[in-house]
Amino acid sequence: MQTHTPPRRPIRLTRRGRIALIATGAFVAATAVAVPLLSTDEAEGPELLVIPEGWRAGQVYKAVDKALALPAGTTKKFMGAARLGLPEDANGNPEGYLFPATYPIDEKSTPASLLSYMVNTANKKFSGGTVTAGAERNAMSVYQTVTVASMVQAESDTKADMGKVARVIYNRLARGMPLQMDSTINYALNRTTLRTSESETKLSSPYNTYQRMGLPPTPIANPGEAAMRAAVSPEQGDWLYFVMVKPGDTRFTADYEQHKKNVAEFNRHRRSASASR
């Protein structure tokens, strides 16, 4: 069994890198999703704070500042002295534990109360027996499982793809292969672009999963329940590669030669779409 990725300079593992054509649509779609947490029938406008699935901590901080009409950067500064009940593995970093949902806001709301609410919700969602058992089954801690879920959230075109994306991650880890996720490089560069250059794959960062083996040191976003379910119970399969040929059509394979063909088809679709703009 092959234990290392064959030479493939012009090819990337992930389906999200270099798809500039759909960048705007993908971002809008991601920010439109929220996990209902509370009844909101009687609440309107500024009395609600919606945290979409896949947002990073920095995006959450900005949203809290805006919702509470605070000067920009207030919530981020608060984090320096925060005590939010995070797991020990997080080392004070709330990334991955600001659970995406709809939260109520009133005159008593503060950055501390809102962030604590998010973390408490995440702890409840992630501490159940199903999550714990699934993490152990995958030879992961719960925190590592949240990290996997964050990559699944960032890399999946649809919820239907999430279980397969999670399986690719576990399969590559089991074979001693680098994950090669563009989403982790984007996190290191604090950007949301869908294009990763060859030079960026050589970035010196613990989040560069092209150069460094294993998981990134922390989650790279705040995953929703579907992504967490996929990380806990990935689909069964031998897939090692995937690429989104076009929206709604992500190809998974264990065969590198087939993957190259899928990437070539993706490039044809991209060129055709660019020419028609």
| Token output for 9 | 């300079």
- Per-residue confidence at 274, pLDDT binned at 50, 70, 90? low
- The backbone torsions φ and ψ at residue 243, rounded to the nearest 5 degrees and listed phi first, read -150, 140
Q: Give tens-digit pLDDT for 183-199.
A: 999 999 999 876 788 89
Which of 16-20, 89-93, 156-160, 177-181 shows the lowest mean pLDDT across its residues?
16-20
d(CA 95, CA 87) in angstroms, rounded, equals 11
Residue 5 has pLDDT above 80, yes or no: no
| Token output for 264 | 């070539």
Which of 9-18, 108-117, 190-199 shows the lowest mean pLDDT across its residues?
9-18
pLDDT > 90: percent of the chain: 70
Strand positions, DSSP E, the chain: 48-50, 102-104, 241-246, 249-253
* pLDDT for 120: 96
Higher-confidence position of 151 and 83: 151
* pLDDT for 43: 42
Higher-confidence position of 12 and 92: 92
- Per-residue confidence at 24, pLDDT binned at 50, 70, 90? very low
Q: Give tens-digit pLDDT for 39-75.
A: 344 445 458 999 999 999 999 999 999 999 999 999 9
- Dihedral angle computed from the Cα positions of residues 152, 153, 155 and 158, in that order, rounded to the nearest 10 degrees: 100
Which of 24-38, 41-55, 71-85, 245-259 shows the lowest mean pLDDT across its residues?
24-38
> Tell me, what DSSP letter sits at residue 243?
E
